[in-house]
Amino acid sequence: MASLVAYDDSDSEAETEAAGSVNATSQMTDTRDVVKPRGQDFAPGGLDVTEGGALATKPGSCEDPAGHRLPLARLWRSDPGSCPSRRLQWPRTEPEVTFPTNEPPCPSLWASHTPAGHVPLAAAHVKQVKPSWGTAGSPELSFCAQTKCDTSGTNGSSLQRRRREDCVIPYTPKRLRQLQAVGAETGKSNEAEARGPCARRAPAPLCVASRVSEFIQPYLDSPYKETKIPRSVLFHLRGHRGPVNGVQWCPVPSQSHMLLSASMDKTFRVWNAVDSGGCLQTYCPHSEAVRAARWSPCGQRILSGGFDFALHLTDLETGTQLFSGQSDFRITTLKFHPKDHSLFVCGGFSSEIKAWDIRTGKVVRSYKATIQQTLDILFLQEGSEFLSSTDASSRDSADRTIIAWDFRSSAKISNQIFHERYTCPSLTLHPREPVFLAQTNGNYLALFSAVWPYRMSRRRRYEGHKVEGYSVGCECSPDGDLLVTGSADGRALLYSFRTASRARILPGHAQACVGTTFHPVLPSVLATCSWEGDVKIWH
């Protein structure tokens, strides 16, 4: 029994009736099964495509010598010349079917464009499937038409049939396609992680000398007056894939909208933490965790050191390394000399502290002590002296926990500064008074005099936070009235410097808050970072 086939572009009744003849008993006789000689399927005339998409036939173009109209399925064949395998069905004496230049040729039933959802990922990655009709005037060969068929006869027909079957893209179930897509993405991400977070691309230029932020501009012409206690989160900066070891605002006031963050994911980033909260650039010159990173005093370079024993001075605008050095220990702390900006001091998992000269790329001084690790470094007296915090401690006292050095002679000034059995993971200097503070693993901040003999204050102690072995940082506000410190339970605590009382508690992070810093210009902006890898801007 013949079946009635409906086509999308045969909506008119004339074409539906043309597919077969209807007799008096309302039964249709299908003419598609009539065997016709080769060469009589099409007349010398070509096919015309109407604007509506239906096929219009000319007299003698779609009828056999008996006058029967051919079915529409025969009219949808592609140009015999578009696929070599199709030439075997057409005699050489038959004229080629041409198309109007202003319309695309009809798609082939064998080389049609398969929907993207049905293309297996393996075939999609090896070679892209292109439609056989291509562009007018220069049709591109389809996927199956790229195989060369030069044989003829019986062997050629079987070879043609096999190749035609190979050209048909098998259907892939939706669930299998989803699993393949997930596997491909996982493989790409693992490969990217193995090569580093930004191994595929070089850092794009970062315009440092951009316009001044509209939020910072009103405060540049007046001195810093009073620090306001931040209460809410302005930006939540996410992007690091490892713990963030520290944050620092750009020291140049006009460019202080930029924030530097160093992470254990082998990168350090520069953020616009005032206007938009977006990441301006990511730098990854290290092959291991970046433990310390500092802005240069000019605000155009960043000095970084990590667990790969390497030191790099990176230019922000070009991303190139202006200085590269190789230390003999893992680096945990870096500080520029406050007067001579071409000198810096670094310490880490070693009994030595080394001073480097960027101009020569060599070590100019070494400071040796009976210790195993240097935790932090703090310059005093405009760079003539500096303090080093170490991991040395004994049962009864902690001599050598804080050591004072003479920068020029490399001699020890004092190593009997802190007399309690706790180590001090971080040090900070008060901006207006000759005192400094030390973060201790006894869960309190100790206050010391910044001049010899560096006595510790017994009456003032800042307690209430937790350190618990983390390298928790602390800092004073630019006016010196507030003191901020992180905590191992994720909080950030603000103290009054004069009374040592708590001014505010910010429950900011899910893991240990290890870095805090006040904005140098804006009176109510604070940045904190945590061990979970995020940075928060408070206002």
In this structure, the answer to whether residues 182 and 294 fall within a common structural domain is no
Segment among 119-128, 405-414, 510-519 with least mean pLDDT: 119-128
- Among candidates 102, 106, 58, which has minimal Cα distance to 86? 106
Average pLDDT, the chain: 75
| End-to-end C-alpha distance for the chain, whole angstroms | 81
pLDDT at res. 398:
56
Sheet holding 343-348, edge to edge: 331-336, 343-348, 352-357, 362-368
The single residue listed with the structure tokens 């900070």 is 428
Residues 154 and 295 in one domain: no
Residues 119 and 235 in one domain: no
Select the more confidently predicted residue: 33 or 184. 184
Cα–Cα distance measured from residue 279 to residue 404, given in angstroms and rounded to the nearest whole number: 38
Residue 89 lies in a domain: no
- For residue 93, tell me if it sits in a domain: no
Residue 7 has a pLDDT of 42
What pLDDT is stored for residue 370 in this prediction? 87
Average pLDDT of span 516-531: 96
Tell me what pLDDT residue 127 has. 40
Percent of the chain residues topping a pLDDT of 70: 61
CA torsion angle 451 454 455 460 (round to 10): 80
Q: In terms of pTM, does the model score above 0.85?
A: no
Assigned domain for 99 exists: no
Whether residue 295 is contained in a domain is answered as yes
How far, in Å, CA of 291 to CA of 82, rounded? 63
pLDDT at 327: 94
Q: What is the CATH number of the domain that holds 403?
A: 2.130.10.10
Residue 66's CB is within 10 A of a number of other CB atoms, namely 9
Within this chain, do residues 217 and 351 fall inside the same structural domain, yes or no?
A: yes
Can you tell me which residue has the tokens 């520069």?
A: 270
Do 149 and 208 share a domain, yes or no? no
- Residues 270, 291, single domain; the answer is yes
Condensed to tens digits (0 to 9), the pLDDT of residues 243-264 reads 999 999 999 999 999 999 999 9
Specify if 95 maps to a domain: no
Return the pLDDT at 134.
37
Per the DSSP assignment, residues forming a β-bridge with 314 are: 302, 321
The amino acid at 69 = R
Judge if 182 and 206 occupy the same domain: no
395 found inside a domain: yes
Peptide linkage before 131 cis (omega within 30 of 0): no
Give the burial string for 514-527 (b: 16+ CB within 10 Å, else e). Answer: bbbbbbbbbbebbb
Instruction: Please say if the pLDDT value at position 53 is more than 80.
Output: no
Q: Verify that 385 and 503 share a domain, yes or no.
A: yes
Q: Is the pLDDT confidence value at 400 over 90?
A: no
Domain boundary among 192, 227, 259: 192
Q: Is 136 helix (H, G, I), strand (E, B) or coil?
A: coil
User: Residue 126: enclosing H or E segment and its boundaries?
Assistant: helix 121-126
What is the extent of the structural domain holding 164? 105-192
d(C-alpha 43, C-alpha 57), whole Å: 11
Residue in the structure block whose two tokens are 């198309």: 99
Per DSSP, what are the bridge partners of residue 535? Answer: 237, 529
State the Rg of the chain over Cα.
38
Q: How confident is the model at residue 211 (pLDDT cuts 50, 70, 90)?
A: confident
Q: Does residue 309 come out as left (phi exceeding 0), alpha (psi in the -120 to 50 range) or beta?
A: left
Separation of alpha carbons 470 and 507, rounded Å: 17
273-296 per-position pLDDT tens digit: 999 999 999 999 999 999 999 999
405 lies in the same domain as 334? yes
Give the pair of three-digit tokens for residue 257.
Answer: 């909208």
Q: What pLDDT, on a 0 to 100 scale, did the predictor assign at position 201? A: 52
- What confidence score (pLDDT) does residue 108 get? 37
Per residue in 300-351, pLDDT (tens digit) is 999 999 999 999 999 998 889 999 999 999 999 999 999 999 999 999 999 9
Overall domain count for the chain: 3
Alpha-carbon distance of 468 to 445, in angstroms, equals 13
Are the beta carbons of 83 and 148 closer than 8 angstroms? no
DSSP reduced 3-state for 258: strand
Upper half-sphere CA count for residue 360 (Cβ side, 13 Å): 9
Determine the pLDDT at residue 160: 59
Percent of the chain residues topping a pLDDT of 90 = 54
Please say if the pLDDT value at position 115 is more than 60: no
Please identify, among 163, 192, 221, the residue that sits at the C-terminal boundary of a domain.
192
Coil vs helix vs strand at 536? strand
Where is the domain boundary, 146, 175, 192?
192
Q: Does 82 fall in a domain?
A: no
Q: Do 31 and 113 share a structural domain?
A: no
Residue 484 lies in a domain: yes
Using alpha carbons only, what angle is made at residue 293 by residues 483 and 490, rounded to the nearest 5 degrees? 45
383 and 476 in a single domain? The answer is yes
Co-location of 287 and 343 in the same domain: yes
Of 26, 5, 1, the closest CA to residue 16 belongs to 5
